[in-house]
């Protein structure tokens, strides 16, 4: 465990909070740390850099309210002092990444969450878990409301992630019921944007990087499976609204963009937007790949007044130049 700190002893103003972001060097975590600092809070980022990258947070090092702790949350947390809020975003989100070491993925969800829940109890902090639409597995109904209990394989390549997240939800429920911890559960649907790793392996990053390079765009299966893509700015707003909602909002809340696309439509959109010479290449569908994903966001609308604002076209317009710069590819990028 290593602590890099520029956080000095500062007097907290009434509104200023000290906030722990586990997984803070990842795609969503980096944006969340930055937004919380912009709002005047003190932020402690804990990450083991499994899929996170220093470049997602290094621009924050000069901020005296930012601390980075290099640590694996599977292991007991180092003493980092009292916090007011904890966001748990620690867990690889990309199927090829979380399947590299399935036991560690499962432990990250379960042991990691228990370590953070114990810390929340100790300091009386509110804690938010980044759960996932994967708790619905390969759903029998669409769109998926929170009351749907899912259709998940307990023994397959995705189980370490899906069942790990389902177990975390149970832990959150019981820490709230039995111990009165102030808990929040966000069921996140596919989210994309700048700061995703170009080698992440998820569909948006793969398609954009492939189309920029003029390489074949790899469609798994026939591309008829659907996903609903949320831009990161909407997701960060949703996560923060949920964290700051009343304690009564302890039940899971879907956060995602309900506009549904087939994977084939996404591939065609990316190739057309980039005016790319890439061809579509159909390869085997991975085992247990869900056929559809579309959030019912009525609860988020009711309890948080939240709805996503950014369309896929707008989000891609911000994401494509990022990947072009990130991959140093010389490509035709028509948008500013």
Contact flag: residue 226 with ligand NAD (CB under 6 A): no
| Three-state secondary structure call for residue 285 | coil
**81 burial type by CB count under 10 A (0-12 exposed, 13-18 middle, 19+ buried):** exposed
CA distance readout (Å), 334 to 128, 177, 213: 39, 52, 15
Q: Which of 63, 142, 153, 218 binds ligand UDP (CB under 6 A)?
A: 218
Contact flag: residue 74 with ligand NAD (CB under 6 A): yes
Binding partner at 150 among ligand NAD, ligand UDP, none, C-beta below 5 to 8 Å by kind: none
Give whichever of 187 and 331 is closer to ligand NAD, judged by the CB atom.
187
Pick from 20, 17, 15, 16: nearest CA to 3: 20
Interactions with ligand UDP, residue window 192-211 (CB under 6 A): 202-203, 206
Contact flag: residue 257 with ligand NAD (CB under 6 A): no
The first and second tokens of residue 126, run together, are 């509110």
Contact flag: residue 173 with ligand UDP (CB under 6 A): no
| Three-state secondary structure call for residue 145 | coil
- Residue 20: its H or E element: strand 18-22
Contact mark string toward ligand NAD, 189..208, x via CB under 6 A: -xx-----------------
Catalytic site residue 123?
A: no
Contact mark string toward ligand UDP, 279..318, x via CB under 6 A: -------x--x-----------------------------
- Residue 88: its H or E element: strand 85-88
The catalytically annotated residue of 161, 175, 192, 232 is: 161
Contact flag: residue 137 with ligand UDP (CB under 6 A): no
Tell me the HSE value of 57 on the side-chain side, using a 13 A CA sphere.
33
Interactions with ligand NAD, residue window 48-67 (CB under 6 A): 48-52
Give whichever of 4 and 220 is closer to ligand UDP, judged by the CB atom.
220
Contact flag: residue 26 with ligand NAD (CB under 6 A): yes
Contact mark string toward ligand UDP, 245..284, x via CB under 6 A: ------------------x---------------------
Tell me the HSE value of 145 on the side-chain side, using a 13 A CA sphere.
4
Interactions with ligand UDP, residue window 90-129 (CB under 6 A): 94-95
Please say whether the beta carbons of 105 and 96 come within 8 A.
no
Residue pointed to by tokens 């199927």: 95
Contact flag: residue 29 with ligand NAD (CB under 6 A): yes
H-type alpha helices, the chain: 27-38, 95-98, 102-107, 113-123, 159-179, 203-213, 232-243, 263-273, 298-304, 312-326
Binding partner at 206 among ligand UDP, ligand NAD, none, C-beta below 5 to 8 Å by kind: ligand UDP
Please say whether the beta carbons of 18 and 41 come within 8 A.
yes
Contact residues for ligand NAD, defined by CB under 6 A = 23, 25-29, 47-52, 72-74, 89-93, 108, 112, 130, 132, 188, 190-191
Question: Catalytic residue positions?
Answer: 161
Contact residues for ligand UDP, defined by CB under 6 A = 94-95, 190, 202-203, 206, 218-220, 225, 227, 263, 286, 289
């Amino acid at each position: 465990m290593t602590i890099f700190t520029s956080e000095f002893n500062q007097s907290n103003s009434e509104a200023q909070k000290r906030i722990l972001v586990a997984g803070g060097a990842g795609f969503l975590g980096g944006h969340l740390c930055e937004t919380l600092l912009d709002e005047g809070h003190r932020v402690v980022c804990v990450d083991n850099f499994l899929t996170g990258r220093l470049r997602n947070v290094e621009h924050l090092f000069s901020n005296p309210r930012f601390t980075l702790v290099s640590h694996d949350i599977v292991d007991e947390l180092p003493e980092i002092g009292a916090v007011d809020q904890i966001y748990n975003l620690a867990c690889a989100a990309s199927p090829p990444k979380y399947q590299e070491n399935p036991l560690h993925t499962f432990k990250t969800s379960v042991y990691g969450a228990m370590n953070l829940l114990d810390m929340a109890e100790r300091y009386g902090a509110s804690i938010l878990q980044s759960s996932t639409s994967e708790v619905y597995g390969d759903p029998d109904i669409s769109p998926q409301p929170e009351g749907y209990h899912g259709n998940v394989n307990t023994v397959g390549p995705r189980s370490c992630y899906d069942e790990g997240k389902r177990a975390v939800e149970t832990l959150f429920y019981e820490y709230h019921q039995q111990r009165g911890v102030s808990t929040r559960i966000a069921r996140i649907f596919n989210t994309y944007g700048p700061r995703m790793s170009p080698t992440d392996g998820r569909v948006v990053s793969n398609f954009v990087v492939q189309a920029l390079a003029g390489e074949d765009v790899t469609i798994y299966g026939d591309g008829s499976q659907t996903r609903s893509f949320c831009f990161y700015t909407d997701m960060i707003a949703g996560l923060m609204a949920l964290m700051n909602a009343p304690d009564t909002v302890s039940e899971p809340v879907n956060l995602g963009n309900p506009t549904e696309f087939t994977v084939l439509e996404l591939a065609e959109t990316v190739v057309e937007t980039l005016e790319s010479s890439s061809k579509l290449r159909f390869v085997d569908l991975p085992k247990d790949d869900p056929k559809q994903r579309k959030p019912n966001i009525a609860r988020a609308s009711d309890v948080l007044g939240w709805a996503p604002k950014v369309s896929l076209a707008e989000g891609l317009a911000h994401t494509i130049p990022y990947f072009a710069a990130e991959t140093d590819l010389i490509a035709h990028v028509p948008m500013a």
